[in-house]
Structure 1
Amino acid sequence: MKFLKLSLAASVALGAFSTASFAQPLEDAIKGIDVSGYLRYRFNSDYYDNGNNNSNSKNTHRWKAVADFKAPVADNVAFNFGILYNNESNDVQGTGGIGSGLGSGKDGSFGVSTFNAVITPDSTATTVIIGKQRLATPVTNAGDDDRGTGILALNSDLEGFTFAAGAFDSWSIDDVHKGYDLGDNLGTSVTKPLYALAGIYGVDTAYGHFGAQLWGFYIQDIVDGLGFGELSWTGSTFNAALQYAIASLNNDAGDVLSVVHPNGNPAGRANIPEANDLFVINLGADFAQEYNVPLDVKLGWVTNFQDGTAVTLNDDGTAFKYAGALWWQNNATGISTSALLNRGVAGFGSEQEISVFYGAIGYSMVDSRLRIGLDYVWGNNEVTTGNATLYDIDFQEITPRISWKHNKNLTISGYYAYLMTDGPNPVSGNEDQDRARARVEVKYSF
């Protein structure tokens, strides 16, 4: 018979756990814990043609699993714990068809996504979250695993209003430039403190729901000030929203953005404008409730007035009501709203002017389980320095969509986005580019 030799410390630890007064059967330990999350598979087929007989394509398989565990409230305190598996960032296509994260090899990252305590006092409509949590703000995307470690307080004592204040000493954004140790789903974090304040208002009237929100952000050595505001109205058929974001970025030499956007600027300053903003008008209609016609449409316009458009930390931020899928997420158009991505951002000393019109239509059938839609986008991006035009790009995107809600848990969806640009490209210098993406997604929520 073999005996396992344990150190004294390990023996004491095992003995303590085996006789601890809090030991209990597993069934009792997990009683009352809520579990939610989803399993998602995505297949992307991307095509690129730079107009100079240089084209390529790439297929990627992407898996994601999210599970959040919420313990029951005891004495006004509850604990949340979340786990995450995600291989979205590890999809590098190498030469000769050899790469990583392409579907069958070693890929992905697995770890703790949230770990926090939630305090809800009886005497006030206040919630305080302390620990690692998702960053659900207009300039980040909690659904893309943006998260921070710190404290967030929410108060709704005043009817119709919610006030929020947050402070995070470290945080992570899923899609930032790899030239700086900022994330890319690789488990790294930004260690510059992030502070946020917000006020949110909503009221139901005989004329529809009126809403407003105002957010302010400060990030040491990165963002001197960032504000986001929205006014919205939703009626029984029609809806409208005005959105505006403005940012003053810290592009001093030696700070974070000078590493993310270097490109040899005078005195080592970051190659990104300090003054940025974005303005969005969105008009929509849904004819299902009032007219029993399962048709929805939206129209919108996007523009800016400052030198650049870098007003978010993640260009997948869910606040802006765009249509399309590609035009703000690649170098072809030269447009990006993220200050932390080294793409599509006008350089230091330049002035960027964008004008983007979009429209989308959707029709539901089969008891609203099947939805088909079509997005169309037309835009222009002009960047100048002094009296010289660096580039002037016109672009169009056409994106048909389809989704099938098999049941309350399982949804299958897909789209084919086709982007065409006309004008010298700021990266490749080619006159025209075509890009396309076909996506199939299967998502099971629980």
Structure 2
Amino acid sequence: MKLVKLSLAAVVAAGSFSFANAAVSLDDAIKNVDLSGFLRYRYDMTHDKTGDVKNSGAAHKYRAKVGVSTEIADNFKAVAVIDYNNGDKSYGSKAGLNDEASFNLRDAYLAYTNYETTFTLGRMEIGSIWTDDLLGTGLKVVNNSIEGLTLAAYMFDNYNKDGDFSLYNVVNNKNLYGVAAIGSIDPVSYQVWAAYLAAKGTFYAVDLAFDGGEDLAGLNAQVQVAGTSLKGKLKEKHGVDNGLFYAVNVGANVAGFDANVGYIGFGKKDKTTFTAIEDKGQFIDAGEIIIDSYSETLAGSHSYEFLTLGYSFDDVRVGLDAVFGQVNKAGAKTDAFEITPRVAYKYSDKLKFSAYYAFANVKPKGGEKTEATKVRFEAKYSF
């Protein structure tokens, strides 16, 4: 299970800073710098077929995040993230090498901490339950003065053009205000979120998780409920209606074996809705193909059951995801099924290799079925 933390330390960064034009020796500067980041290579291949119509593609993808977090004065910290994100199309007439991408300044913010409270100002990850790695410029305040409880509040007035942020053109000029309470009372952890997107509507979400630990054979459970109450042009111009998302996941982990079963439901059969602001946010999901996004404006009601199995031995894990689902759009039903074998190898604490092969079958009742596959190999070095 995944517990969202609004942590200011969970940033990979690179850069250099000067404070009040004060020159320091290289040795002294290095002592105050925490370096972190990752280098990642992916090879993705996709193929789908509907009747006689076929589509396929493959790409090499490269990602690098390198950075520093540095103490620049009493209680003050400066953070910057340098990001390189590039890809080359693979094989045949579509093949091509992209040598025009460059490094970009991804995050840049100043943090001040005192009395168990941190104020962060600048460009940073929004870090909400509705977003994955979406960036915004604004202010975030996080308080940890109560043991076992994190209180947060934030305001952002712009966002980056993330490819998974499908609502960018609709909400980019609107301020986002939010609050959150994240905590735990062993063995239960909880999250309560609320946000307001100016002139667009209100978002709310609750996440409850239980972890029984070894005393209960690794039994765990998670429940999520999220909703939107929209107004203005999102409803009138874009035809998006209020939505409700609900999901449950129950699992166990014994002697290297892990298993989870769950259910995911959202949407209305006669309406278009969305749940997340970007990508799948921090919501429960499974598989790689048929549950593609929670941030798209999706028509119809969606319901999915899923099962995940895995076994870990030494530094290797093998696993399998199975997803069964149905979409009901104004009475027209589509059945979907996906199976995804996975394997991962932890070469060292810093270097990990992983791969999966996903196969999905989507069939509208009375229509032609679509068969789709997605293959990924990944090598990631973290430091």
TM-score (norm 2): 0.87
**Maintained 8 Å contact 1:241/1:283:** yes
1:197 is matched by which residue type in structure 2? V
Q: 1:194 aligned to 2:183?
A: no
Q: Aligned partners of 1:400 and 1:148: how far apart in 2?
A: 35
Aligned to 1:154: 142
CA distances 1:283-309 after superposition (whole Å, capped 9, x unpaired): 01111xxxxx10111110011365555
CA distances 1:7-64 after superposition (whole Å, capped 9, x unpaired): xxxxxxxxxxxxx9733443433332001110001100100101x2011210111100
Query: Is the partner of 2:73 in helix, strand or coil?
Result: coil
Aligned to 1:328: 291
Q: 1:396 aligned to 2:342?
A: no
Shift in alpha-carbon separation, 1:173–1:240, aligned structure 2, 3 A:
farther
1:239 is matched by which residue type in structure 2? N
Shift in alpha-carbon separation, 1:251–1:54, aligned structure 2, 3 A:
farther
Aligned to 1:278: 245
Q: 1:131 aligned to 2:122?
A: yes
Aligned to 2:202: 225
CA distances 1:382-419 after superposition (whole Å, capped 9, x unpaired): 011xxxx3x31000000000000000000000000001
2:118 is matched by which residue type in structure 1? T
2:249 is matched by which residue type in structure 1? N
Percent identity between matched residues is 30
Q: How many residues align?
A: 358
Q: CA deviation at 1:328?
A: 2.0
Q: CA deviation at 1:216?
A: 0.9
Q: Aligned partners of 1:358 and 1:202: how far apart in 2?
A: 27
Q: Which moves more between the two structures, 106-115 or 234-243? A: 106-115
Q: CA deviation at 1:375?
A: 0.4
Runs (5+) with no aligned partner, structure 2: 1-19
Q: 1:435 aligned to 2:381?
A: no
2:46 is matched by which residue type in structure 1? D
Q: 1:414 aligned to 2:355?
A: yes
Between 1 and 2, higher relative CO (CA 8 Å, sep ≥ 6) is seen in 2
Shift in alpha-carbon separation, 1:406–1:129, aligned structure 2, 3 A:
same
Query: Is the partner of 1:323 in helix, strand or coil?
Result: coil
Q: CA deviation at 1:173?
A: 5.4
CA distances 1:358-396 after superposition (whole Å, capped 9, x unpaired): 00011011x2x1000000000001011xxxx3x310000
2:252 is matched by which residue type in structure 1? A
**Maintained 8 Å contact 2:287/2:358:** yes
Q: Aligned partners of 2:303 and 2:101: how far apart in 1?
A: 37
After TM superposition, list the pairs within 5 Å mapping 1:18-417 onto structure 2.
22-50=22-50, 52-72=51-71, 74-87=73-86, 97-98=93-94, 102=96, 104-108=97-101, 110-121=103-114, 124-142=115-133, 146-172=134-160, 174-176=162-164, 181=169, 190-204=172-186, 209-222=187-200, 224-236=201-213, 237-250=218-231, 252=233, 257=234, 269-272=237-240, 274-287=241-254, 293-304=255-266, 306=268, 307-317=271-281, 319-329=282-292, 336-338=293-295, 341=296, 345-346=298-299, 352-365=300-313, 367=314, 369-384=315-330, 389=331, 391-417=332-358
Q: CA deviation at 1:181?
A: 4.7
CA distances 1:211-260 after superposition (whole Å, capped 9, x unpaired): 111111111243x01111111110111001110110123462xxxx58xx
**Maintained 8 Å contact 1:309/1:337:** no
Runs (5+) with no aligned partner, structure 1: 1-19, 183-188, 259-267, 288-292, 330-335, 347-351
Q: Which moves more between the two structures, 104-113 or 296-305? A: 104-113
Aligned to 2:10: none
1:337 is matched by which residue type in structure 2? Y
Q: Aligned partners of 2:24 and 2:352: how far apart in 1?
A: 39
Greater per-residue strand proportion: 2
**Maintained 8 Å contact 1:420/1:432:** yes
Query: Is the partner of 1:211 in helix, strand or coil?
Result: strand
Aligned to 1:185: none
